[in-house]
Amino acid sequence: MFGLANPDTFARVTRPLIAPLWVIAAGLLITGAVWAFRVPEDALQGDTVRILFIHVPAASLGLAVYGALGLSCLFYLIFRHSLADAAARAAVLPGAAYTGLALITGALWGQPMWGTWWVWDARLTSMLVLFLLYIAYAVLRGAFDDEGRAARAASVLGLVGLINLPIVKFSVDWWNTLHQPASLLRAGGTSLDPAYLWPLLIMMAAYFALFLAIWLTTLHTEIMRRRVLAMRARQAREDRHV
């Protein structure tokens, strides 16, 4: 496990995974999307039920990716390992995109279902907070010209943001809100109709694979960039010595 903390080992082990991941993500996305269009209309929700297949995986992955970001930050703060910082940074874009997608599709769904785009209840607010936290992390990470300082400050914020995750997750149980309570992942097994469950699970897997593909690709680019910088620095030192 800790062998992977070496950037070179990490690059070597994960390199072969990247291309397959992109292919898997694309395949799952297409399968899931086609399937989602062929499920029967819901008795209550009609056609809008199809938003489910975009909304739920986006929301779940938005949360999960922040978890990965927060843990990377923790890892960075403990071990001061720059790979952890890079991992956190690489999670921002997909995470924020998923969260933003969940917010938008949720609002679109809310209009027909609840008669309003938005309410300030616990689930929706905490999800908005999650989105803003992604942005805050990214802005803070870019706000210093000293890399170490930027990484440290941003990691502290990323870690602080972890508090928000259980709030988003359990907001529907702790407070009565307009939002649907958990039906998929809950004590006592799922309560979702299998007709919806399977395409949903496939979409989940697709979003997850897509995230992994983006994450690893970004990390690899970053490792390469650092190698080039290090090489240039070495070159400059040697030039000075001769």
Partner 1 sequence: MNGAGLLLRREMALAWNGGGGPLLACGFLLSLAVIVPLGAGPQLDQLANLAPGLVWLALSLASLLTLERLFERDFEDGTLDLLAMGPLADEAVVGVKVLAHWLTIGLPLALMTLPVGISLGLAPDQLPLLAVTAALGALAFSFTGGLGAALAIGARKGGLLIAVIVLPLFLPPVIFGAGALVAQADGRSPGPALALLAACVLVAGVVGVLAGAAGLRGSRT
Partner 2 sequence: MDIESRSQHGVRPMITLSLKDLAVRRGDRTLFEGLDLDVAPGEAVSLTGANGAGKSSLLRVVAGLLAPVAGAVRFEEGGQALEPAEARARHLHLLGHQDGFRSGRTAADELAFQVGWCGGTVEAMEAAVRRLALGALLPLEVRRLSAGQRRRLALARLLAAPRPVWLLDEPLSPLDSHWRAEVGQILQAHLEGGGMVLAAVHDPLPIPARTCPVGGAA
The whole-angstrom separation of Cα 114 and Cα 130 is: 22
CA 180 vs. chain centroid, Å, equals 21
In the list 163, 195, 224, 228, the residue contacting partner 1 (rule: CB under 8 A) is 163
Q: How far is CA 195 from CA 36, 82, 176, in A?
A: 10, 45, 28
**Residue 192 near residue 200, CB atoms below 8 Å:** yes
Residues 104-123 that bind partner 1 (CB under 8 A): 118, 120
Piece of 62-70, 93-101, 140-148, 210-218 that binds partner 1 (CB under 8 A): 140-148
Closest separation in Å from C-beta 122 to partner 2: 40
Closest separation in Å from C-beta 211 to ligand HEM: 14
Burial class (CB in 10 A: 0-12, 13-18, 19+), 148: exposed
In the list 47, 146, 238, 239, the residue contacting partner 1 (rule: CB under 8 A) is 146
* Per-residue binder mask for partner 1 (CB under 8 A), 59-98, x = binder: ------------------x---------------------
Contact partner at residue 233 from partner 2, partner 1, ligand HEM, none, CB < 5 to 8 Å by partner kind: partner 2
C-beta of 107 vs 150, nearer to ligand HEM:
107
The whole-angstrom separation of Cα 163 and Cα 165 is: 6
| Closest of 116, 221, 128, 218 to residue 171, by C-alpha | 128
